[in-house]
A and B are shown apart, each in its own frame.
Chain A
Amino acid sequence: KAGVTQTPRYLIKTRGQQVTLSCSPISGHRSVSWYQQTPGQGLQFLFEYFSETQRNKGNFPGRFSGRQFSNSRSEMNVSTLELGDSALYLCASSPDSRGTVPEAFFGQGTRLTVV
């Protein structure tokens, strides 16, 4: 069974540009979450999607957005990039099994550098 796949692995963008990151979850998983890790910080929750709907949202500005497609693949978009957006962005997928603890399976991440 393939794991969570994130593309691209590395990305360099200029301030003011926008960027789109992609995440393909484990087959059968319908929940996809996004996290940001910056130097010295723990993983910060961005948002979570289930059945094409945003179900949870973290404390990030509106420049950060996402969406989920009918096949559960998800994209994350950051507009008007700032230097502080340089980070590792991790995607995690979870099976949505009622009554069980939601376990998250992570991809390897996309390393975004804003210059």
Chain B
Amino acid sequence: ILNVEQSPQSLHVQEGDSTNFTCSFPSSNFYALHWYRWETAKSPEALFVMTLNGDEKKKGRISATLNTKEGYSYLYIKGSQPEDSATYLCAINLNDYKLSFGAGTTVTVRA
């Protein structure tokens, strides 16, 4: 079982502000890191899949970076909007179909 840690557990952001949060994981035997956005009563939605050290991915106002040598990834939200309110999950897999998830960071954007 991989120990995937996300911090902070929750955060509140004022609309228009930018924010970021962290996913930490064991760097040995790493294969891929996944970020998901999970809104209440919906399915977790895949945001990014990242494999290479130094990878940077962007989707609209959301971006992510990956450091496999030190075992962390950051997710950034630029200019937060109320629709960004969700739980953001990080997961790691080791060249198989089993994902080890962190507990998530719940983001609440205040208008």
Contacts and interface: CB of A to CB of B under 8 A. Distances in A.
Contacts of A50: 97
Interface string A81-103: 00000000010101000000111
Contacts of B96: 48, 55-56, 102
A43 B89 contact: yes
Contact of B43 (A40, A41, A108): A108
Nearest to A101: B32
B80 to A, nearest CB: 23
Interface residues of B, number: 25
Interface-centre pick from A55, A104, A105, A109 (highest chain B CB count, 10 A): A104
Interface string A47-88: 010100001101100000000000000000000000000000
A31 B51 contact: no
B49 interface: yes
Contact of A103 (B1, B4, B34, B43): B34
B97 A102 contact: yes
Interface string B70-107: 00000000000000000001010100111111111000
Contacts of B1: 59
Contacts of A103: 34, 46, 49
B40 to A, nearest CB: 11
A71 B89 CA distance: 30
Contacts of A24: none
* Nearest 8 Cβ contacts at the A-B interface: A43-B101, A42-B103, A42-B101, A106-B43, A101-B32, A106-B44, A56-B98, A48-B97
Given A33-B98, A42-B4, A102-B32, 10 more contacts: A43-B99, A45-B100, A92-B99, A94-B97, A101-B51, A103-B34, A103-B46, A104-B46, A108-B41, A108-B43
Interface of B: 1, 4, 31-32, 34, 36, 41-44, 46, 49, 51, 89, 91, 93, 96-104
7 contacts: A3-B43, A35-B99, A42-B101, A42-B104, A44-B101, A90-B43, A108-B43
